[in-house]
Structure 1
Amino acid sequence: MRNQSFMPRAIKPLIIMVFLTLIFFVVHSSTNFLARYTHQTVELKDNINIDYRYFIDKKPSASPEKMLELLQQFIPEDAKNIPYQLADQTYWVLGKYLNNSNQTEAFVLHIDNAMLDVLEVYELDQFLNITQVFNLKDFTQNNEILTFPHFSFELTPFQDKRFFIKLKTYGPPEIPINLYKIQAFNDNLQASIALYGAFVSCIVLMALYNLVLYLSIKDKVYICYLTYLVSTFLTVTSLNGFGYLLFGYELQQWLQSHIIQVNIMIIISLLLFTSYFLQYDQEDSWVAKTSSTLCIALGIIGIGLSYTDLIFQAKVFFSIQPFFYLYAIFIIAQKLTTTFTWARFYFISWLPFLGGAAIQPLALLNIIESSFWTNHAFLIGVMVETTFMAFALGERMRMSEQQKIATLTYHEDTKILKSLNLENRIKQLRMQGETDFAVLAIEPEQINVVSLYVENYEVNDLYKSIEQGLNSLFLYNDNVESLIQGKQKICVDEMGTIYLLFKQKQEEEITVFIESILRKFKEIYRVKNVNFPLSATVGIALNKNNELKTESLMQHAKYAIEQAKKRQLPWLYYQHESHKKDAYLLDLAADMIKAYNNNEFELLHQPQVDLKTLKVCGSEVLLRWTKADGTIVPNDVFIPLAIDVGLIKQISYWVFKQALKQQQEIIESGYHSHLISVNMTNKDVTEPNFYNFINDTINQMKVAPEHIVIELTNPSKLITNPNALANMKNINALGLTLSVDDFGEGDSNISHISKLPCQELKLDNKLIESLLSLPKQQKIIKGTIKIAKMLGIEVVAEGIESQEEELQLRELGCDIGQGYFYTQPLPLPQYLKWLEDNRLGLNR
């Protein structure tokens, strides 16, 4: 916990410094801007008459001389109302400027578009002679003119001048033509640079802020926002022409030619950021998957558009852009209406961003009137948005830290304390010198059964009611230690075991205390509006002079529960001697895991003989584990142990793969019709991916499915399991044979067999043992075989130990036999030799 809280404390001063610096830059830049930007474009009140006419040339560019011939077709219009469109066409503007004053005036004609392909200015004298006075292509080394395309001229008293202005752009179609006096233009230029400087400051500060957070927390949300900041910076820089000042001509030209791809990157980073910021990626939600899919689609669109011209790219982009912003707003609103009320700053930050993202393109597309403010709307919107985002990220970090603490402290679904709190409290007591206490573990008995029939939330509600009941029982009992501040005195581990800490370890006191707990559990709880009495088993572990680790103390209490259940007692103290008895199995489990990892298991083959022809038709593989000291561990010992320690799946899958590998060798040795039978547990068959494993292994080993038999036990447990039934049907469809093993033992019967898609049953050897001595047994076996034949099921008898048993089974109609009468189980090399000796029939 100490390490987890260190990071936020260390970053707090940095966050405060970033915020203060950011606010200072924004306020300072805005103040300067408002102070400086007081001059407007030249108007009639300044004793200047301005007249504009325009002509749109949709053909390949013509010369100014050609335009003179079309002068009658020029349309009079204010410069701000010229209908620029997103199209491949050239605009010719004829501007007439008349100085009505008696003073010489100097002017600047500013063509406010930094993405011009053509800007040429021609002066017309009174005799209509044409002289070129400006060509933008002559200024590729003048970054200021490239950023702010303009040219200067003077008007003497009462002089007028006429200029042909040739304009063409593959970027934003709006091309504002503004006439300034020198000082006004300089003020406008400085205001633009100051505003851009403030924007760069915001971007750099926020980028550093997010980079520091990412390096500290490793949360990808900060990388996404960092990508957004870089993309936004490149968009504004290239769109407003400041790239000429920062990067130079070539790089700025490249950025302008890929402006749509950069804008697409803004949307991609925003979508990913929104998904991560609102933690959709931590949920199994359609939003996270949809956002990722949309980002991939956008990336593909961006790459595809890069092979088309900019005009087509812009038309496609601006047609799809609103959809993605609406989608982002929708997923934000969805969180605001559910759990993420703390995301309000993030929601607010979208308002200036969307305002700028909408206003500036509308101005650039000549849908709304162009002005200084509309031309910088996106830049200003991003500045305001980053300010709110700083608060949003800070708020998110604060809430995330609280969530981490809550996650470590409480179970997410029930809000009950985790067992980690008990460990911490025990350590605190020991540090304080306390030794006189006991750990009690409580296991509710019926909850595991109840959970099979109700939803998870109902099980959680049941645990909540138990927690409330126990906490109320212990509320005024000072012998029950509070685990955290407040009155919470119980905790639950991941397996559902309840723990508490009792400060007195005298047996009389603990006995009375436990009886009160058990009485509490017998109270009526409600599940699905049904009264449900619970019971519990309690295990107690006494702390003896702090000689045990905290974890061991809790484990002993839980082990005492298992011992109590074995003895059918309601509660029990941990007993070291009882625990010691199970040490052998624990050591055996450890040895078994090592044996599996070291590939020390072995397969043996027990032949199966066709009782009609007395020829070998296949073999059942049997697993054998021989320890390093030569001890053979019986299967009925280590198989249940493998199930208990969770290794049975790996062992079963290993057996199946090894069996198919050995089947390959048998077939390659010339026994092409040989069948291999492999035992699989019910746990294997109920696994959802069991069929996929079988299918993949068969394809990998290239063994024909019709040469494989899978043997199963306890059919009654498979009938009601949908996963098992689906797997068995798929395995049948694949061509494998399903066999029911140990028929006649336990709960297996013909009724169960008829409900399963099996093609074979194996009579248990206990049936065969009394075949010759009990006439009733013969009738049972005969009846079983007869019914099996009616169902189209083949019958195998295992445990044949004599020729008399073989003859009797053949007369009863049994199909296949196996047992020690033929041979004991053999390793593969010896089995291959035995097969060779009996190739033409059993060698007796």
Structure 2
Amino acid sequence: MELRTLRYHSLAVAILIFIFFIINTLASNLVVPTRYTIDKTSPMYLNHAYYIDETKNQTFDAIIKQPNLLTHAPFSEIPWSFTQQNYWLFLDLENKSQESQKVVAHFDNPMADHLTVYRLDKNNHILKTYKLGDREKKLTLFQYSVPHINFLMEQKSTQRLVIKIDTVGISKTPINLYRDKEFVDLMRSQTGIWGIFAGVLLMAALYNLVLYFGIKDRVYLVYIGYIISALILMGIVLGFGFYLWPLEWQLFFHHKVIVSNYAVSFFTLAFCTMFLRYHKDKCWRYTMSKALLSLMFVMGIASFFIPENIAAPLFFCVLALLYVACTILIYKKLLSGFRWAKFYVFSWVPLILGAVIQPLELTGVIDYSFTSRHAFLVAILCEIVLMAMALADRVRYQRERALYHATHTQQTKLLNSSKLKQAFMSLQSQNRSTTLCLIKICHFNSLNTIITSTQGYTLIKHIAERLENELMHEREFANLETDLNNSPRLADLNSGVFACISTKNQNQDTLKTLLTKVISNLPKQYEIKGLSLQLNYTIGISSANQSNDFEYWLKRGYLALKDAKGRADRVASSAINNSLIMDVGLAAHLQKAIKTNQLALYYQPQINLVNNQVIGAEALLRWPDPAYKNISIEELVILAEHTGIINELTLWVIEQACKDLVELINSGHKEHTISVNLSAKNLAINNLAEKIENILIKHQAPAHLLKFELTESAFVESQDVLIKLVDELSALGIKVVLDDFGTGYASLSYLVNYHFSELKIDKSFIFDLVNNPAHQVIVQTSIDMAHQLNLSITVEGVETQEIHQLLKQMNADRAQGYLYAKALPYPEYVNFLKSQYSLKMLDSPF
């Protein structure tokens, strides 16, 4: 154990000892008053007798005149019960001292309905009659909470107290006589215990209410319900409830005490069920708990109308079911390893002990004393403290579990990207080298179509275990998490991608060699139900600078992983200073550039191969801002597609192309065409053909000079929409071009189903056309087929005069490429059109 931890543990133990010292001091000052009754402190002699009137018809006079009815025995031998009957208690007092004594008679049962006390002289003449009990009117709060009388015993005198107890429910009424001083001690002790109990419970309720608003867990409301119901019940049993609630409320609680018992039991079971999370499991134990809760609720409501002497025995039967149910619920969870429930289990120990002591004391099985009288109160107090500790332990466990789920993948239990980010930020703060190494199981997503998710996760865990073992031998890879049992270096990024961090300063070729060695030791085969899967791996490397941008770093790693697919060694790296990573910020700048016309269209001329004249141009998007000069237009279009601004960008390109087309016509190029590219994403534009028509009308651009080039990706994604769009564009007079012809899988079928006016042969067939007979056959066949279908042919990628001459011999209609000109800004393109003499040299002898 670390020295700092040991220091804090020692401090905690010292605080615990100090708290126990305070409790001991408090307990020693709270004397046990029942040891100091008047017969033990003064020469006062008592004789006891009692009579049980089962008919409830006997009167005071009849009882006095029939002394033979009395049973002369201590009050501790009275057979108290819940039966409807009256109890007559006779207490003969003789003061043999030479001094008068101020006596206080305490009747320790604030739940008694009617408690009548007759004080008699030695001749059985009534000196005074006292009316006590919670059914009596106009008593003080002190008389309600602590039923008692005060009287004076002269020296050498005798008196008799006759106490009639007429109540429904708990009838046992311990009677103790004190001198004034001892009675004050009693009140001090009771008030101290009551104050501690009520104070702790109220503070616990407030604290857990705050926790509920913070955590939003219903179990805290149930816990507060238990606290309040326990406070009500103990306030009834011990009498201090008169100081907590309005008098009318407390008297109502007194008359419906069994309802309070059911409330405590209800919240006890509800807390047990929710604390142990059975409401999430929905198993048969949860059904049992709901059924018992429903029973207690119904019985609690019925207790409003059932006499207490009948409702009490029924409650004790339900209480037995409660203990059985909670034992089942707790035992099952302990078997499943609920280590955080230990405090809750301990909380049942004082509850069970206190719950046993109270009914035994009330029924006379255990002798009455100040300790036994307050045993259940202390038990509930201990239980609530332990329950609070259990809730705190549960919150700690949930926080640990939430942290675990936040840093681990749920299915594979491996570290995830959050832990990878933590490690990255930590290494960056230490100014250490951080090179991301991504290792991917090739075609993992395709594998998932033939294996189940569970089998896929098992495969990932198997590969991860082997990969972790390989990395363990290489010290340059950082530990992503450190604990006593494990120091993993690997994170699972889902979809068969694993990540680790190299902290060694080295060139990427050295790192590539090391990672190639690592994956060479990974499994090449994996068997699932007799099927032997063939496994291959790709590697992507991304080095970070001190920008502290984890997303940038990770995104570059994924780009490198993507590049590795096409490499023979399946390893690729992404350098730090490559083109900017596309993100939301860049998309925002692009959108602003669209709205403020900061973009531009460049034009690459298309040449008529018959007369070498420029007859049209393809409009190509450019972003002239120097800050973004390193971003390729392909990346820009992908960014626009991914961020949803591709349609806005496309409409801008169409409108700008129409503007430039009108200017070209006005400058004398009456038959010059402009081609604009459309992608699959553009098909999502509502009423695209109508919007194009509105642009043509707005700028008075002739439709027959506008072309739209469509790639096969548009056909694959939305054929039905595309057929309609091509028909609508053709109806407007716009020419539709099938772009990149020959590179798709079903290009021939497109020629039948769509109204194209032109084919554009992909440049991949043109670069080596002179030296590739196969490509010559494909190009010649395409040209002949197009002409047979009354379609014209445009060839892109012409870079040499030899290819130009060969295309003329093949009877191609148009061509474009670097041989004629690169894409030019509009002003330069206009100048190019004015001086086309260089094109005339194309047909000169070689």
- After TM superposition, is the score higher than 0.5? yes
CA contact (8 A) 2:102 2:180 kept: yes
Aligned match of 1:482:
479
Higher alpha-carbon deviation: 197-206 or 567-576: 567-576
**Is 2:627 the partner of 1:629?**
no
- What is the alpha-carbon distance in structure 2 between the residues aligned to residue 539 and residue 89 of structure 1? 91
**Is 2:535 the partner of 1:538?**
no
**Is 2:110 the partner of 1:51?**
no
Q: Deviations over 1:280-304 (max 9, x none)?
A: 5565655556545644553344234
- What is the alpha-carbon distance in structure 1 between the residues aligned to residue 115 and residue 646 of structure 2? 80
Note closer, same or farther for the CA distance 1:256–1:494 as it changes in structure 2 (3 Å cut).
Answer: farther
CA contact (8 A) 1:445 1:534 kept: no
**Is 2:31 the partner of 1:31?**
no
Aligned match of 2:318:
320
Mapping for residues 117-156 of structure 1, pairs under 5 Å: 117-124=113-120, 129=125, 132-136=128-132, 140-156=138-154
Deviation at 1:344, TM superposition (A): 2.6
Mapping for residues 337-736 of structure 1, pairs under 5 Å: 337-412=335-410, 414-433=412-431, 437-443=435-441, 456=454, 462-485=459-482, 487-502=487-502, 506=507, 508-522=509-523, 535-543=535-543, 549-555=549-555, 557-558=557-558, 627-630=686-689
Match of 1:107, SS state, is strand
Aligned match of 2:770:
none
What's the TM-score once normalised by structure 1's chain length? Answer: 0.61
1:65 to 61, 68, 78: 61
Note closer, same or farther for the CA distance 1:140–1:495 as it changes in structure 2 (3 Å cut).
Answer: farther
Mapping for residues 227-306 of structure 1, pairs under 5 Å: 227-247=225-245, 249-280=247-278, 287=285, 291=289, 294-306=292-304
Match of 2:113, SS state, is strand
* Residue identity opposite 2:423 in structure 1: R
Deviation at 1:192, TM superposition (A): 1.7
Deviation at 1:526, TM superposition (A): 7.4
Note closer, same or farther for the CA distance 1:544–1:250 as it changes in structure 2 (3 Å cut).
Answer: closer
CA contact (8 A) 1:22 1:387 kept: no
CA contact (8 A) 1:524 1:531 kept: no
- What is the alpha-carbon distance in structure 2 between the residues aligned to residue 541 and residue 57 of structure 1? 95
CA contact (8 A) 1:471 1:489 kept: yes
Note closer, same or farther for the CA distance 1:406–1:239 as it changes in structure 2 (3 Å cut).
Answer: same
Deviation at 1:351, TM superposition (A): 0.8
Match of 1:500, SS state, is strand
Deviation at 1:22, TM superposition (A): 7.0
Higher alpha-carbon deviation: 349-358 or 276-285: 276-285
2:329 to 328, 331, 344: 331
Deviation at 1:517, TM superposition (A): 4.0
Deviation at 1:491, TM superposition (A): 0.5
- What is the alpha-carbon distance in structure 1 between the residues aligned to residue 456 and residue 95 of structure 2? 88
% of aligned pairs identical?
Answer: 23
- What is the alpha-carbon distance in structure 2 between the residues aligned to residue 497 and residue 466 of structure 1? 11
RMSD: 4.7
Note closer, same or farther for the CA distance 1:464–1:451 as it changes in structure 2 (3 Å cut).
Answer: farther
Mapping for residues 166-177 of structure 1, pairs under 5 Å: 166-177=164-175
Deviation at 1:83, TM superposition (A): 1.7
Larger Rg: 2
Aligned match of 2:654:
none
Deviation at 1:134, TM superposition (A): 0.9
* Residue identity opposite 1:519 in structure 2: S
Deviation at 1:248, TM superposition (A): 5.0
**Count of residue pairs brought into register by the alignment:** 605
Aligned match of 2:93:
97
CA contact (8 A) 2:119 2:159 kept: yes
**Is 2:108 the partner of 1:112?**
yes
Note closer, same or farther for the CA distance 1:539–1:20 as it changes in structure 2 (3 Å cut).
Answer: same
- What is the alpha-carbon distance in structure 2 between the residues aligned to residue 498 and residue 592 of structure 1? 32
Deviation at 1:115, TM superposition (A): 0.9
- What is the alpha-carbon distance in structure 1 between the residues aligned to residue 127 and residue 646 of structure 2? 94
- What is the alpha-carbon distance in structure 2 between the residues aligned to residue 224 and residue 20 of structure 1? 33
Unaligned runs of 5+ in 1: 1-11, 596-623, 643-764, 770-844
* Residue identity opposite 1:406 in structure 2: Y
Deviation at 1:180, TM superposition (A): 3.4
**Is 2:197 the partner of 1:199?**
yes
CA contact (8 A) 2:541 2:572 kept: no
Note closer, same or farther for the CA distance 1:593–1:136 as it changes in structure 2 (3 Å cut).
Answer: farther
Match of 2:90, SS state, is strand
* Residue identity opposite 2:312 in structure 1: A
Deviation at 1:381, TM superposition (A): 1.0
Aligned match of 1:161:
159
CA contact (8 A) 2:407 2:416 kept: yes
Mapping for residues 817-832 of structure 1, pairs under 5 Å: none
* Residue identity opposite 1:27 in structure 2: N
CA contact (8 A) 2:538 2:565 kept: no
Note closer, same or farther for the CA distance 1:440–1:459 as it changes in structure 2 (3 Å cut).
Answer: closer
CA contact (8 A) 1:19 1:390 kept: no
Q: Deviations over 1:617-659 (max 9, x none)?
A: xxxxxxx96634238999x9789869xxxxxxxxxxxxxxxxx
Note closer, same or farther for the CA distance 1:131–1:55 as it changes in structure 2 (3 Å cut).
Answer: farther
- What is the alpha-carbon distance in structure 2 between the residues aligned to residue 37 and residue 508 of structure 1? 90
- What is the alpha-carbon distance in structure 2 between the residues aligned to residue 436 and residue 250 of structure 1? 73
* Residue identity opposite 1:32 in structure 2: N
- What is the alpha-carbon distance in structure 2 between the residues aligned to residue 489 and residue 162 of structure 1? 89
Note closer, same or farther for the CA distance 1:465–1:537 as it changes in structure 2 (3 Å cut).
Answer: closer
Note closer, same or farther for the CA distance 1:350–1:512 as it changes in structure 2 (3 Å cut).
Answer: same
Aligned match of 2:730:
none
Deviation at 1:356, TM superposition (A): 1.2
Deviation at 1:55, TM superposition (A): 1.8
Aligned match of 1:42:
39
Higher alpha-carbon deviation: 296-305 or 490-499: 296-305
CA contact (8 A) 1:440 1:502 kept: no
CA contact (8 A) 2:63 2:69 kept: no
Note closer, same or farther for the CA distance 1:384–1:507 as it changes in structure 2 (3 Å cut).
Answer: closer
Deviation at 1:239, TM superposition (A): 1.6
- What is the alpha-carbon distance in structure 2 between the residues aligned to residue 22 and residue 354 of structure 1? 25
Deviation at 1:394, TM superposition (A): 4.3
Q: Deviations over 1:544-576 (max 9, x none)?
A: 757895235434544665676699995556798
CA contact (8 A) 2:471 2:477 kept: yes
* Residue identity opposite 1:83 in structure 2: P
Match of 1:303, SS state, is helix
CA contact (8 A) 1:174 1:363 kept: no
Match of 1:186, SS state, is helix
- What is the alpha-carbon distance in structure 1 between the residues aligned to residue 37 and residue 716 of structure 2? 90
- What is the alpha-carbon distance in structure 2 between the residues aligned to residue 223 and residue 19 of structure 1? 29
Q: Deviations over 1:461-498 (max 9, x none)?
A: 55444323212211232443332347421101354532
Deviation at 1:268, TM superposition (A): 3.3
Higher alpha-carbon deviation: 506-515 or 444-453: 444-453
* Residue identity opposite 1:97 in structure 2: L
Note closer, same or farther for the CA distance 1:164–1:548 as it changes in structure 2 (3 Å cut).
Answer: closer
CA contact (8 A) 2:112 2:171 kept: no
- What is the alpha-carbon distance in structure 2 between the residues aligned to residue 17 and residue 209 of structure 1? 25
What's the TM-score once normalised by structure 2's chain length? Answer: 0.60
Deviation at 1:175, TM superposition (A): 1.8
- What is the alpha-carbon distance in structure 1 between the residues aligned to residue 325 and residue 566 of structure 2? 59
